[in-house]
Amino acid sequence: MTETFHRPDGVTVVIPCRDEAVALPDVLAAIPAGFHTLVVDNGSTDATAEIARLRGAEVVSETRPGYGAAVQAGIAAARTDLVAVLDGDGSMDPAELAPLVELVRAGADLAVGRRRPVRGGVWPWHARLGNLVIARRLRRRYGLPVHDIGPMRVARRSALLSLGPLHNRSGYPLELLIGAAGSGWRVVERDIAYRPRAGGVSKVSGSWLGTLHATRDFLGVLR
C-alpha cells in the first residue's frame, strides 16, 4: 500500500468512518489490489482506527464532526492522482470502485455510483424518496445525468481541490455535484449494488432524526 501511495498515477480510497469497527475489516479486505486505503476517523468511540491500522490502512483523524469534513480531510491527505470515496459500513462493494476508476481514466471528470438495492428494505423509503427528489432537481436545474447523490465516487484529486472547501456535513455530496456542474465537468453514473450495512445503524437513513438533519443540509446547499 505504501508504494501505491507514492505513485502519482495511483488511486487512494478515502473511507470516512465513525464507529465502523464491525464493518471495516470486510470493507478493507475487499479494496481492489493496488489501491491505497486511507481511513478518516471522524470521532469514533470504538476501535475503528486501531482496526484500520492493523489491516494496513493509513489512518488520519478529523476532529470536526461531519461526513464532508471527513471526506475533505482524506482528499487533502491523499498523494495520488485519483481519489475514490467509499462508505465504511459495508453497504457497497469496494470491488465496484475499479470500473469507476476506469471511467475517469477514460475521460470522465467525476464517476459516481448509482445505488441499486439488492433486496427490499435495504434503503428506507423516506431516505430513498428524499434522494430521488434531490437527484431530479439536479437533472432539471443543473443538467446533471444523475439519479443518486453518489456516496461512491471517483475523481482526480486536483479537480476536487479546485472546488475549494465544500459542505462539512451531509450536504457534501450534493455541493460536490453542483460544483461539478458549475465547472463544466463530465459526470458519468454507473449502477452499483446497495447492500444491508454490516453493522450498526446509518447516521442518515437509520432514523427520522438523521434523515431530517441531512435534509436540512441538502436544502441549505440548494438555496
pLDDT attached to residue 215 = 63
pLDDT attached to residue 168 = 95
pLDDT in tens, 103-112: 999 999 999 9
pLDDT attached to residue 5 = 59
pLDDT attached to residue 131 = 86
pLDDT attached to residue 127 = 80
Q: Which long-range contacts (CB under 8 A, 24 or more apart) does 212-219 make?
A: 213/169, 213/170, 214/130, 214/169, 214/170, 215/130, 217/167, 217/169, 217/170, 217/171, 217/174, 218/130, 218/134, 218/170, 218/171, 218/174
pLDDT in tens, 165-188: 999 998 999 999 999 999 999 999
pLDDT in tens, 110-138: 999 999 999 988 888 878 888 888 899 99
pLDDT attached to residue 26 = 97
Element (DSSP H or E) covering residue 128 = helix 125-142
Q: Which of 8, 15, 24, 7 lies closest to 198, judged by CA?
A: 24
Question: Which domains can be identified in the chain, with CATH numbers?
Answer: 2-222 (3.90.550.10)
Q: Are 116 and 152 in contact (CB under 8 A)?
A: no
Query: Which residues does the chain have with pLDDT short of 50?
Result: 1-3, 205-206
